[in-house]
Amino acid sequence: MKRKKYFGSNLKMYKNVAQTESYLKELADRTRELCMQNPDMELFILPSYTSLETASKSTDQSEIHLGAQNMCWEDEGQFTGEISPVMLEELDLHLVMVGHSERRHVFGESNIEENKKMLAAMKHGFTGLLCIGETKEEKGYGIADEVLRTQIKVGLHGIAAEDLDKVWIAYEPVWAIGVNGIPAPVEYAQEKHHVIRETLRELYGEAADVVPALYGGSVNLENATRLFVQPDIDGLYVGRVAWDAKRFAGLIADCLATGEK
Ligand code: PGA
């Protein structure tokens, strides 16, 4: 099955409201032609919560989809510091990320919590971007495949096949993310994406083929095209390199120019 070509970035805890607005404007300007030439391309950005309202008002989401970096699974209640799906609905967002490695490993979220968030995303009509990835230690013990399979099986538990068009997966090996990350070898990334594809098939059969799987973790201008052309990688989820609109637009243009997808 032919899936779309995905490019996205999580802005993490960077960029204030004005910086987010000007970044999105510049990115839209620099990618407009690419979007028109590649109607099967999906571009998305996840700004900080405080920037989301302004971003949503000032961005044409037919060009750049916007999403939230996290979400509570409850609609309302005694959950100090959390943001509910109902609040995000007011902002006209398409996408909610669930289980980014920093949520799992800095803030201690569990697979079961990520599952509750994915179910809440489905209930409220968001696309849920479930992030998965093994730690360096898990890789060292040779259990990366088992970790990924568990994260997928628990993360998607209870999600009906009819809702799979609202599920995206991002594979981000924890040891490859951020300033101290080591980029995953392209062959390794492809191999793990194959495990993801097999696990999805096992759970849902052919219905799972609609679910895209993106690669993230130290994607840069040097490795982006080689990652992008891998058969089981549907797109790139880019951190640092994408936070400069010119560089991100250049990376996307390079990938699309390979013409191999
Ligand atoms: P990075 O971030 O590209 O800066 O490694 C990836 C991510 O956290 O999604």
pLDDT for 85 beyond 90 = yes
**pLDDT (mean) for 133-145:** 98
Report the CATH number at residue 71.
3.20.20.70
**pLDDT (mean) for 144-166:** 98
Six-digit token string for 118? 């994915």
Distance, CA of 129 to CA of 253 (rounded, Å):
23
Model confidence, pTM? 0.97
Distance, CA of 96 to CA of 8 (rounded, Å):
12
pLDDT in tens, 2-33: 899 999 999 999 999 999 999 999 999 999 99
Q: Whose CA is nearest to atom 9 of ligand 1?
A: 239
Q: What is the pLDDT of residue 261?
A: 67
Pocket (CB within 6 angstroms of ligand 1): 10, 172, 177-178, 181, 216-219, 237-240
Residue-number span of the structural domain to which 28 is assigned: 5-259
Which member of 100, 113, 114, 134 is catalytic?
A: 100
Return all residues near 9 (Cβ < 8 A) that are at least 6 apart. 44, 45, 46, 237, 238, 239, 242, 243, 248
Return all residues near 135 (Cβ < 8 A) that are at least 6 apart. 105, 147, 174, 175
Q: What is the pLDDT of residue 72?
A: 98
Note whether 241 and 251 are within 8 A (CB).
yes
User: Is 172 known to be catalytic?
Assistant: yes
Average pLDDT value over all residues in the chain: 97
Distance, CA of 171 to CA of 185 (rounded, Å):
13
Q: Whose CA is nearest to atom 3 of ligand 1?
A: 239
> What is the CA(179)–ligand 1 centre distance, in A?
8
What residues does 5 pair with on adjacent strands?
41
Confidence class of residue 177 from pLDDT cuts 50, 70 and 90?
very high
SS3 103: helix
User: Crossing angle of helices 245-258/17-37, nearest 10°?
Assistant: 20
Q: What is the pLDDT of residue 259?
A: 74
Q: What percent of the chain has pLDDT over 70?
A: 99
- Residues 253-257: contacts with CB within 8 Å, 24+ apart? 253/34, 254/221, 254/224, 254/225, 255/5, 255/7, 255/224, 255/225, 255/228, 256/5, 256/34, 256/37, 256/38, 256/41
Among candidate residues 187, 251, 194, the one with its CA nearest the CA of residue 219: 251
- 39 φψ region: left (φ > 0), alpha (ψ -120 to 50), beta (else): alpha
Task: Please give the single-letter amino acid code of residue 106.
Answer: V
Six-digit token string for 148? 């990924």
Q: What is the pLDDT of residue 127?
A: 98
> What is the CA(82)–ligand 1 centre distance, in A?
23
Question: Probe ligand 1: pick from 105, 219, 241, max atoms within 8 Å of CB?
Answer: 219
Confidence class of residue 143 from pLDDT cuts 50, 70 and 90?
very high
pLDDT in tens, 184-241: 999 999 999 999 999 999 999 999 999 999 999 999 999 999 999 999 999 999 999 9
Distance, CA of 222 to CA of 119 (rounded, Å):
37
Instruction: Please give the tally of structural domains in the chain.
Output: 1
